[in-house]
A = this chain, B = another copy of it.
């Protein structure tokens, strides 16, 4: 790995990706689908090479003291590689967003205008120690007609290096330019920094990983960024909340998959329902090994619980930990959510229409729910077939992003000598 930045070499690679993006934009759905099938086949044919490179990264990770969780995310074995290849194949069945007519009409003067979906061009991705994202983003970009430039982090660099080589050779075998998939990992951190400023070559940057990584990219990047992920997710148990739903949905939202962004972090409970609901809600959580913390009013009911601090309420634990606060009413819940929410997903459990409708209208988040588990904010659950990530920003796309969110539009205007009067 060289960490001295040779800007000319890097720009040449980015320019090649930009050139290749034009070929991808013109590629037919059949050509792109053939390339996806080729990628899946190539991955399956090179399991030993991928695993060998991955073992180098794992060994380095163990030596540098990576946690078991990070090592697990870093690991690619035969089963996981097969699942990755399968996920690539599943993109073949999805509709190609490129060329879709979003709207169109004939103007009073006879001019015909159409808004057509087109690829973004070059999609950049910055992520950490998750080599599966390399294949994932490259395949999603390909299906949506985009080139991809990847920065996968030092911890996974051997694995990513092999994967990018395989992806490029698969593209070439399918008659598309290999330069459409590139990595800047060999330029280290300086490469990532250059990528964040490469407005001439990169059309959008998607950071995937920790809140710290995402914030760093947002602060440093002049390339437009799509923020994904961070989720300090709340569920409010209203005075009228059914006990069975409260117990089930808090439990499901927290424990069904605690390490993901739509998992629940904080329960807010109406003071009139606290004594009725909390014993069974907490009991069910504790039976599944969840560490429950409470504010002062929760601890009046359960003095043995550890105290939930301000920091707890602001933290995305991504683990079997959960904080609970008692609020005076819906306004108190809305105020707490305004203060701590990362605007990902918020849910209310209630029997009252007025509470439900106010919650849905006033909570500012990508997804707001009534009587449902927060785990449903998901591209797969929403029927998108593939998920690029879950956007927590308001521009371009909000909530689960599918293939259409990796496109832009352009206006096609057809006249016959039309001049403006």
Contacts and interface: CB of A to CB of B under 8 A. Distances in A.
Interface of A: 22, 26, 105, 107, 111, 113, 115, 118, 120-121, 199, 203-204, 218-219, 222, 224-226, 242, 244-245, 248-249, 251-252, 256, 347, 356, 360-362, 364-373, 375-377, 381-383, 393-396, 398-400, 408-420
B395 A408 contact: yes
Task: Give the top 4 A-B pairs by smallest Cβ distance, nearest first.
Answer: A372-B415, A252-B419, A394-B408, A375-B420
A394 B361 contact: no
Please tell me how many copies of the chain the complex holds: 2
A373 B248 CA distance: 62
Contacts of A347: 413
A343 B80 CA distance: 42
A417 B350 CA distance: 10
Contact of A226 (B395, B413, B416, B419): B395
A264 B355 CA distance: 55
Contact of A417 (B226, B242, B360, B361): B242
A115 to B, nearest CB: 8
Nearest to A393: B224
A411 B371 contact: no
B26 A362 contact: yes
A367 B245 CA distance: 51
A403 to B, nearest CB: 15
A74 to B, nearest CB: 27
A395 B119 CA distance: 11
A180 to B, nearest CB: 16
A206 to B, nearest CB: 11
Contacts of A203: 394-395
Contacts of A364: 22, 118, 121, 410
A59 B394 CA distance: 42
Contact of A419 (B248, B360, B396, B418): B248
A361 B28 CA distance: 12
Given A107-B382, A226-B395, A395-B396, A376 B408 contact: no
A95 to B, nearest CB: 15
B399 A410 contact: yes
Which of A224, A361, A373, A394 neighbours the largest number of chain B CB atoms within 10 Å of its CB? A394
B367 A417 contact: no
22 contacts: A107-B381, A115-B399, A118-B364, A121-B364, A203-B395, A224-B224, A224-B393, A242-B417, A252-B419, A252-B420, A256-B419, A367-B411, A367-B412, A369-B413, A369-B415, A370-B415, A375-B420, A376-B415, A376-B420, A381-B420, A395-B395, A398-B409
